Amino acid sequence: MPYDTTVRPSQVDGILYANAALMPAAEGDLSTMINTAVPRSPLFVGAGSNATATVVFTAQGALAALSAAYVVMQTQVGDENGPWIDVAWCGISAVPVNTNAPTFLLASGQFGPNAFQQTRLAGTAPSSTLGSNVTGLGGRLRFVGKATGVNFGSSSSSMSSATVGPGLLVTIRCKIQGLR
């Protein structure tokens, strides 16, 4: 059967969860979806669904140093007061060069034989720069993160007041796939 060239995926497929969000100094939700058609974080997803997300770190302004920064994809079974469980994570430990911005793919994976214990405390970096726990999503999804040791140098460039201030920025786009 020949490939149907009339059906093409959108160039901007998925949910833009964070659009050049400034990485906070204390762990927090990275969503920038406040005034959009998509509900604000956390995203409600079908239990057992899977998510795939791209995470891109960029520097803005005179960012001279960075100790560490991380983003964690988390799920929750749906109880608003229940714990958030880390599903996948990524991190960097150097100022990104924007001509080659660090780009990561985070995926929740499929259901399968897996057991793990949530051991990371909120606000602490994951024990490894990259990792995941293979599981379907519980019903809610969010991305949290933080940056530490951010130092600024002097810069002769100016930024408009409409621009997010200098610092480490992150853009996250995710796609949720349900059970078929």
Residue spans per domain, the chain: 13-112+146-151+167-180
Residue 119 has pLDDT above 80, yes or no: no
Whole-number pLDDT of residue 156 = 44
Dump pLDDT digits (tens) for 69-108. 999 999 998 677 788 989 989 999 888 887 788 888 888 8
Question: Average pLDDT of 114-135?
Answer: 74
Dist. CA 74–CA 85, nearest whole Å: 5
Whole-number pLDDT of residue 24 = 92
Whole-number pLDDT of residue 39 = 56
Whole-number pLDDT of residue 162 = 45
Residue 8 has pLDDT above 60, yes or no: no
Three-state SS string across the chain, please?
Answer: CCCCCCCCCCCCCCEEEEEEEECCCCCEECCCCCCCCCCCCCEECCCCCEEEEEEEEEEECCEEECCEEEEEEEEECCCCCCCCEEEEEEEECCCCCHHHCCEEEEECCCCCCCCCCCCCCCCCCCCCCCEECCCCCCCEEEEEEEEECCEECCCCCCCCCCCCCCEEEEEEEEEEECCC
> pLDDT band at residue 160, thresholds of 50, 70 and 90?
very low
Quick one: which of 110, 91, 106 has its CA closest to 52?
A: 106
